[in-house]
Structure 1
Amino acid sequence: MTHLTRCHLNPARNRLTSSPQRLHAAVAAAFPPPPASAGPGHRVLWRLDETRQPHPQSTLLIVSPQQPDLTHVIEQAGWPRLATPDNPGWDTRPYTPLLTALRPGTPMRFRLTANPTKAAFRRGQRGVRTAAATPADQIQWLLQRAPGAGFAISQHLDRPDLTVTDCRVRDFQRGPAGRAGSNVHLHAVTYEGRLQVTDPDALRRTLTQGLGRAKGYGCGLLTLAPDSTTPHTPQG
C-alpha cells in the first residue's frame, strides 16, 4: 500500500521549512526504521509547496509505503494547539487507487520539483554533473526524461505545455547539526504543466520512486491531478 500525506504548515514558524537538511530529518523521523528486508520500493518522497498569493501558505507532501506520524512536525512548524485526535494537523490517504487507475493516453496536470543536472565536459576529464541553471536547460532535462518516466509532455500551440514556476538555489551542510559534514549545492526547480500517460508501469515507478537526484532533500516528487483541476491539487 502506498500513501499520500498532505500537511499544512505555519509559514510564520519557518525554522524547520527553511532548511532542507532539517526538513529531511523531520520527514525521516516520521517513520520507524525500514525493515532489513525492505526492497527498492521502500522509499519516502517529499516536497514542500509554497505559495505567496493570495496569502503565504506552506504544504508538505509525502508519498510513502507507510503512514507517517507527523506529530513532531506539527509541534515545530504547524498549529499544535489546534490539533485534535480527529484532526492531528495532517491528512493521509491511500495513493494506490490513483496508481492502479493509470491508463495510456490519459491527460493529467502535473507538478514536479526536481534537481535537474547536466554533464559538463572538460578536455582530458570525464563529464562532471553540474546544475542545469537556465530555464531552457531545465525544460530540456525534463523533456529528455519524460519517455523513460512513463509520460509525454502535452503540446500547446506546437510547444510543450510545460512551465518552470520556481527555481531556488539551496546551499546547506549535510549531516547532523553541530557536526562537520559535506556542503550540498542544488537547484530545486518546480515544473507545472500537462502530460499524457504513455507507460502506466513506468509512471507508477516514477510516482513512488521519484525522478532525478536529491530525493532526500525535497526533489523528485511528481504529483498528478485531473486535467480539469485548477489550481493543481494532488490526487490520492
Structure 2
Amino acid sequence: MYLSRFRINTRRPGARRLLASPQNLHAAVMSSFPHLLPATSAGPLPSAEGPRVLWRLDHNAAAEVFLYVGSPDRPDLTHLVEQAGWPAAAAADPDNPGWQTRPYAPFLDRLTQDTTWAFRLTANPVHHIRRKDDEPIKRTAHLTPVHQMAWLLDRQERCGFRICEKPNTKRLLPGGTTHQKAVHHGDRYELIVRDQRNLSFAKSRSDNAPGRKPVTLVAVTFDGRLQVTDPDLLRHTLVQGLGKAKAYGCGLMTLAPLPATSERTP
C-alpha cells in the first residue's frame, strides 16, 4: 500500500478541468497505474476484501488544493504534473517529481488499540427512504450537519474506531443537547463537518446527450479525533474506504498524530 500527495496548481487550465468533474479526476487518478485497464467508465472493480484505489481532494485554501491517493501500487503522476502541476520545477529537480509517495503498510502495521489520532474523511453520507408507501426505496443524501455526523457515528464501531467525546469542560451545551429531543452531535464529539459540496457531472461524454441525467451526489469533509477500538477493522477501513461514491473522491480516511500537548480524551 502507498499514500501519495499531489499539490494542484489551480491556475492551470488542466487543473480547472479536473477540478470541475470528479469523473475526469477519477479517470486521471486511475491512469496513474499502468497495469490497470479501464474496463468500465467507473474504472476497474476491486476485490471484495483487497485494498482499492481511493482518492480525496483537500481544499485548504483557494490556491492550496491537495490530491491524496491511497493505492495498492505506487502511482506515476507524471501526467498530472504536466496537466495540473508545476512541470518546469519538477524537471529542474530530479529528486522531486512533483508529488510525494510513501509506503503505507508500515504505518498501518503500527496501529494499536486505544491509541488516539486526528483524522480527516471526505464521504457521501446517504440513507435509504420511501416517502410514500407505494414508492420504491431511494438512496438520498443527508443534508444537515447533525444528520451527517449521525451517519458517521452509526458506522464508527464496525469500522474499528470511536469518535472522541469532548470533556464536559469543553462543551458549550449542557449534556451536549440543543433541546430535550435532539442531540447536538457537534457539541458532544470532537468532530466537525465542513466543505459540503453538491456535485453534478456527466459520467461520460455520451452522458452529455440531451435527456441524459447527470450524476449527482453530496460530499462533505469530516475533521475530528478518534480512538482505535479494533486495529484490524480500522486498517480495512483505511484501505477499502468508507461509504459510497468512492470512485468520485469519497471514502478515503487519513490519520495524523495529535500534537504532543493536546489533551487525548477517549
2:214 to 170, 179, 183: 183
Structure 1: which 5+ residue stretches go unaligned?
231-236
Match of 2:42 in 1: none
Q: How does 1:142-153 map to 2 (within 5 A)?
A: 142-153=152-163
Question: Where is the strand percentage greater, Structure 1 or Structure 2?
Answer: 1
Distance 1:20 1:190 in 2: 15
Give SS of 2:154's match.
helix
Tell me the matched-pair count. Answer: 227
Q: Conserved in 2, the CA contact under 8 Å of 1:174 and 1:182?
A: no
Task: For residue 126 of structure 1, report the CA deviation from its aligned partner.
Answer: 4.1
TM-score, normalization: structure 1?
Answer: 0.89
Question: Where is the helix percentage greater, Structure 1 or Structure 2?
Answer: 2
Match of 1:136 in 2: 146
2:17 to 3, 15, 18: 15
Structure 2: which 5+ residue stretches go unaligned?
38-44, 169-187, 262-266
CA RMSD of aligned residues (A): 2.2
Q: Please list the CA deviations of residues 68-111 of structure 1 after superposition, one character each: whole Å capped at 9, or x if unmatched.
A: 01111111100111113311101110111111111110000000
Distance 2:53 2:104 in 1: 13
Match of 2:124 in 1: 115
Give SS of 2:17's match.
coil
Counterparts in 2 of 1:226 and 1:37: CA distance versus 1, 3 Å: closer
Q: Please list the CA deviations of residues 170-217 of structure 1 after superposition, one character each: whole Å capped at 9, or x if unmatched.
A: 000102478656521101100000000001011001000000000000
Give SS of 1:89's match.
coil
Match of 1:71 in 2: 78
Give SS of 1:163's match.
strand
Percent of aligned positions that are identical: 50
Moved over 6 A (4+): 35-39
Distance 1:218 1:131 in 2: 16
Q: Conserved in 2, the CA contact under 8 Å of 1:211 and 1:220?
A: yes
Task: For residue 34 of structure 1, report the CA deviation from its aligned partner.
Answer: 4.0
TM-score, normalization: structure 2?
Answer: 0.80
Match of 2:105 in 1: 96
Counterparts in 2 of 1:64 and 1:229: CA distance versus 1, 3 Å: farther
Give SS of 2:140's match.
strand
Q: Which amino acid aligns with 2:56?
A: R
Task: For residue 51 of structure 1, report the CA deviation from its aligned partner.
Answer: 1.6
Residues 169-178 or 29-38, more deviating: 29-38
